[in-house]
Structure 1
């Protein structure tokens, strides 16, 4: 038996050997993390540089929001994305629609290319106020046709309620309604909690640069090629994920606020309701999906009664993202309201 093995057999010798092993292991881990942070930061910079914001970044009081306007003519079509989404969700609609009139898509604070507003909770009330400031600072003063998808539909209704004199049409694309049934609310809450926990993990991966190192691993979203590259770049580099968590966590507050305003009618402003009958959330059971579909359809019918002049269109050819799966249907519907506004004007 040699001296080295005798040394390791003694309690004191083994303890010091173990400490050295741990210290070397920790040093290797620290070096690996430091290297990952450096290369991750470099990858983020490259993604940001190769995916600049289309449109404009507008100061709204200490931070900037992104708005992208295309085309010319009045009324202006203003499009709002759903929960956790940003302006690229309209990339299959906006270019063609802009051949008819001016079309603007924008990113809520913290989403897409918009900077976060860390001082305000991510509620619908705050979002509407931010949008008002954005439009004022962008000098968009003409009449508006508002288009909202999912959660964005609730926001455009809140905006319309505050600006009935300026809004000449509302298009709700499979939009959320504030009168959510207790059962639907329970199912949604469970799904949202699970999603928030998943997003917290994604946020960690994003912060250390892993997403930026392999953006191609971010799942497809059914977007056009350029828009998909932009989506991946934003998800891998910006405040998107953390804002998604904040927005989802505050949705119940947004619904409560909307209910407090009693948004029952939009006078004679034309309202078009597009809804998808083909819906299936993999995270839910078959029974839960049936309950959700029934409750969702009830909400869509309620929204078709918001105006004395409303249009209700259901489609079995799309899931929730009608603007990506059937963009022509969305374009035709919006153009119908644009034409009507011009005719009345």
Structure 2
């Protein structure tokens, strides 16, 4: 054996192999800490890493801690990073009230206190979770250290009449929003009546990202087959896509108008480069207007803070944390660094 070969064998013995995706995802396939938030309810919380401020990860509608397995692993070496399941999702107890933005904010506020997650956490929200994170900042601006909004929803998002589209196109978007709620009702009925063997064959109810590790996909499919999950998901869809005659949703009405300015709160808004309209038949001009309206909504969120930044993430779709996890992780690191600097200001 050569000296070089001997040294290589020694290095292989002392340097651990990089964790596989399945290794990184396994913690999301079972409950972690179940924290009491009052009323006999517990929410599942999964924290890794050390340091302050704590980063709290808020998934979009129908999502769970599992939405963040790529991001949480990237951040754990920098600070404590926690993902949690909203009521009815993942390994949390069923929801006992409508799953609107106010309920999400109230539960998160209780969770932060009960789990002792520390002062001035950085909240990261994706999609509808970004809408909830924004309302949290509106209600508790003095209690958070920063925000990262990942292709977030925003108040007025479902007011399609304001997108500058043809009337037929606007009507198609409104039918699509109603269709999401109809699908939610269908999936809840399947979970209540049809049994697991039947709902397992309904891809509209139990589909999982094919690129996720198999252990994670199996656990998610089990969750999707359960009534508490489908009930919470339907309620979120009704609150965020149920459009009233005023063009607003229940979630929209829970926001102040205008939104409260957030001072110099560290804030980054990430926009997906590829956010196509959810229905067909759009002209190229209408698609451009649809995306531009989405981007303008994100720009308005960034403008809530004098330190706000709005960034388009090249090559990403709506799930930026899956398509470009390094970009999301870097945005969170940047906000954490800014929050730490703010903590040391005289």
Task: Give the alignment's TM-score, normalised by structure 2.
Answer: 0.78
Offset of residue 214 of structure 1 = 4.3
- Following the alignment from structure 1 to structure 2, what is the Cα–Cα distance between the partners of residues 73 and 187? 48
Offset of residue 157 of structure 1 = 1.4
1:262-341 → structure 2 map (5 Å cutoff): 262-287=258-283, 289-341=287-339
Offset of residue 210 of structure 1 = 3.0
- Following the alignment from structure 2 to structure 1, what is the Cα–Cα distance between the partners of residues 109 and 211? 28
- 1:213–1:244 Cα change, 3 Å: closer
Offset of residue 318 of structure 1 = 0.9
Offset of residue 182 of structure 1 = 4.0
* Unaligned residue ranges in structure 2 (runs of 5+): 1-27, 164-169, 241-248
Offset of residue 206 of structure 1 = 2.6
1:182-193 → structure 2 map (5 Å cutoff): 182-183=160-161, 188-193=173-178
1:116-135 → structure 2 map (5 Å cutoff): 116-118=94-96, 120-135=97-112
- Following the alignment from structure 1 to structure 2, what is the Cα–Cα distance between the partners of residues 101 and 301? 28
Q: Aligned pair 1:194/2:179, yes or no? A: yes
- Following the alignment from structure 1 to structure 2, what is the Cα–Cα distance between the partners of residues 172 and 87? 16
- Following the alignment from structure 1 to structure 2, what is the Cα–Cα distance between the partners of residues 98 and 179? 35
- 1:321–1:192 Cα change, 3 Å: same
* Unaligned residue ranges in structure 1 (runs of 5+): 1-49
- Residues 185-208 of structure 1, C-alpha deviation per residue, up to 9 Å, x if partnerless? 865542221122223222233333
1:58-77 → structure 2 map (5 Å cutoff): 58-77=36-55
- 1:187–1:62 Cα change, 3 Å: farther
SS at match of 1:165: helix
Offset of residue 290 of structure 1 = 4.0
Greater percentage in helix: 1
- 1:237–1:315 Cα change, 3 Å: same
1:2-151 → structure 2 map (5 Å cutoff): 51-118=29-96, 120-151=97-128
- Residues 162-191 of structure 1, C-alpha deviation per residue, up to 9 Å, x if partnerless? 222221111010111113344258655422
SS at match of 2:225: helix
SS at match of 1:274: strand
- Residues 18-48 of structure 1, C-alpha deviation per residue, up to 9 Å, x if partnerless? xxxxxxxxxxxxxxxxxxxxxxxxxxxxxxx
- Following the alignment from structure 1 to structure 2, what is the Cα–Cα distance between the partners of residues 96 and 213? 34
8 Å Cα contact 2:29-2:216 kept in structure 1: no
Q: What is the root-mean-square deviation in Å for CA atoms of aligned residues? A: 2.4
Q: Aligned pair 1:232/2:218, yes or no? A: no
SS at match of 1:89: helix
- Following the alignment from structure 1 to structure 2, what is the Cα–Cα distance between the partners of residues 215 and 230? 16
Task: Give the alignment's TM-score, normalised by structure 1.
Answer: 0.78
